[in-house]
């Protein structure tokens, strides 16, 4: 007597397909930017401290200059021993990184982590680096160093491939620096847009989202309005771009550049840490870097400025420029500086990532002997950055999954209920 084959009904088949594909449907989204050259750009990753750490320890985790980390968050670097200040757990920081082109996509591979006792790929990815990278990505980036992912030898150096995007340094044809941001349970896309002075539509376009739905663990590319440099390609800091409300340190800690809120003018002065630096005087003048002179005439205001032109062969390039403007400019507006001691006790774990100005108190003018000016002329990069979703590639799970929150236990029970009567 022939064996009777069980009959799978439609519900059972659909549930089986769903259960098999469920892990892929709920995986986190991230924005991937394809590339085909060796150009790099300034980028930022949003990082929440997993424990109390010194400034130098956070900098070491990302292989960045501690002073660059502080200036990126508008922390006053003139305080003694500022690199050893202890930052509290749950504090959100913007970490400046260089975004490169690696294997055809944008990522940062300059971060090296040395394993410690009891480390696993999962705790390195999820805890230490706050979900900015996955265990599988670390494994893939270190295929030659990891023979057994379940056993990590203490002291092993691992490349941590951090997500980043460049999009030609523009957003809607205006200068921008992109921040890689890990979504938290309390976040909404509209809240993130409001926090970082962009729009819901812009965030959806940049991240190729089909809807404003986001979930915990997603990694978003957030465009931060910025001041862009126009230094020559042979300058060591030619890709310097500074987000609104923050600073950048360059020229071997000799020059500090700021980007005031609501401006596109990169304004550079001697840094408060400047010690053994090359000349910062503009040739054929008595003006120093950042100095400005103004003379009101019947035809307008004659403005002469000594501005920064990049760091070339160990020397600081200065540019003397003169212009006739309708009226004399007002004083330079600096982003508010944060007293590093005020960071102690800050807890940002239950609110959208704070901007530096919201952590700090009243604005502080950076220590400098120069006369503030309006900075250099606004520079606009090539107008082919992301004005929409053009040129953006996303991971396989970039489309929001409406079933991600559906209870898996209910689906499993329903599936088994449909199979049991079939005698399987």
For the chain (424 residues), the mean pLDDT of every run of 10, in chain order, is: 46 41 46 88 96 97 97 94 95 96 92 94 96 95 87 93 95 96 96 96 96 95 94 91 95 94 88 87 94 93 96 95 92 90 58 41 40 32 36 34 40 46 48
Alpha helices, DSSP H, located in 87-148: 121-123, 135-141
pLDDT at site 145: 85
Q: Which of 170, 176, 144 is nearest to 157 (CA)?
A: 144
List beta partners, residue 308. 318
Angle at alpha carbon of residue 184, lines to 42 and 392, rounded to 5°: 45
Give the span between the Cα atoms of 381 and 176, in whole angstroms: 9
Type and span of the H or E element at 244? none
Q: Which residue shows structure tokens 């990505």?
A: 137
DSSP of 295-321, one letter per residue? EEETTEEEEEEEEEEEEETTEEEEEEE
DSSP of 51-103, one letter per residue? S-EEHHHHHHHHT--HHHHHHHTTB-TTSTTGGGPEEPTT-EEEEEEEEEEET
Give Cβ neighbours of residue 281 (< 8 Å, ≥ 6 apart): 287, 288, 289, 306, 318
Cβ atoms of residues 108 and 161 within 8 Å: yes
Give Cβ neighbours of residue 70 (< 8 Å, ≥ 6 apart): 55, 77, 82, 83, 340
Going along 229-313, which residue ranges are E strands?
241-243, 246-250, 255-259, 267-270, 292-297, 300-312
Going along 103-238, which residue ranges are E strands?
105-108, 112-114, 157-159, 162-163, 170-171, 174-182, 219-228
pLDDT at site 344: 67
pLDDT at site 29: 64
Cβ atoms of residues 120 and 73 within 8 Å: no
**Domains of the chain: residue spans and CATH:** 27-111+160-227 (3.10.350.10)
Cβ atoms of residues 277 and 316 within 8 Å: yes
Distances from the Cα of 52 to the Cα of 85, 88, 357, angstroms? 10, 4, 22
pLDDT at site 272: 85
Cβ atoms of residues 183 and 395 within 8 Å: no
Q: How does DSSP classify residue 129? A: T
Give the span between the Cα atoms of 216 and 181, in whole angstroms: 11
Give the span between the Cα atoms of 242 and 266, in whole angstroms: 8
Type and span of the H or E element at 43? strand 41-48
Cβ atoms of residues 353 and 194 within 8 Å: no
């Amino acid at each position: 007597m022939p064996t009777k084959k069980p009959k799978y009904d439609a519900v059972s088949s659909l549930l089986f397909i769903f259960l098999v594909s469920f892990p892929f449907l709920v995986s986190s989204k991230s924005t991937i930017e394809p590339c085909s050259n060796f150009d790099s750009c300034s980028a930022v990753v949003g990082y929440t401290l997993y424990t109390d750490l010194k400034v130098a320890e956070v900098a070491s985790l990302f292989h960045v200059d501690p002073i660059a980390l502080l200036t990126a968050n508008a922390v006053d670097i003139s305080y003694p021993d500022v690199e050893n200040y202890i930052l509290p757990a749950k504090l959100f920081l913007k970490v400046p990184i260089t975004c490169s082109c690696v294997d055809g996509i944008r990522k940062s591979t300059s971060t090296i982590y040395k394993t410690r006792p009891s480390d696993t790929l999962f705790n390195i990815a999820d805890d230490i680096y706050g979900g900015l990278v996955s265990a599988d990505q670390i494994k893939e980036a270190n295929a030659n160093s990891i023979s057994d992912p379940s056993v990590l030898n203490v002291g092993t150096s691992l490349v941590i491939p951090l997500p980043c995007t460049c999009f030609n340094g523009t957003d809607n044809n205006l200068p921008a620096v992109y921040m890689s941001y890990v979504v938290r349970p309390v976040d909404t896309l509209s809240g993130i847009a409001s926090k970082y002075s962009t729009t819901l539509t812009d965030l959806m376009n940049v991240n190729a989202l089909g809807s404003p739905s986001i979930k915990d663990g997603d990694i978003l590319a957030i465009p931060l309005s910025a001041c862009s440099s126009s230094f020559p390609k042979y300058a060591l800091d030619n890709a310097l771009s500074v987000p609104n409300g923050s600073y950048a340190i360059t020229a071997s800690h000799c020059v500090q550049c700021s980007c005031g809120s609501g401006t596109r003018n990169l304004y550079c002065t001697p840094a408060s840490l400047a010690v053994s630096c090359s000349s910062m005087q503009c040739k054929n003048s008595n003006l120093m870097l950042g100095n400005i002179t103004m003379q009101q005439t019947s035809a307008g205001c004659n403005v002469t400025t000594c501005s920064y032109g990049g760091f070339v062969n160990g020397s600081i390039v200065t540019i003397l420029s003169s212009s006739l403007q309708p009226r004399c400019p007002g004083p330079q507006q600096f982003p508010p500086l944060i007293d590093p001691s005020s960071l102690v006790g800050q807890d940002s774990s239950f609110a959208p990532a704070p901007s530096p100005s919201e952590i700090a108190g009243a604005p502080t003018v950076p220590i400098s002997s120069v006369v503030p000016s309006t900075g250099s002329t606004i520079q606009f990069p090539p107008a082919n950055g992301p004005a929409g979703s053009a040129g953006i590639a996303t991971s396989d799970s970039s489309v929001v999954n409406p079933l991600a929150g559906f209870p898996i236990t209910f689906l499993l029970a329903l599936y088994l209920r449909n199979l049991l009567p079939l005698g399987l």
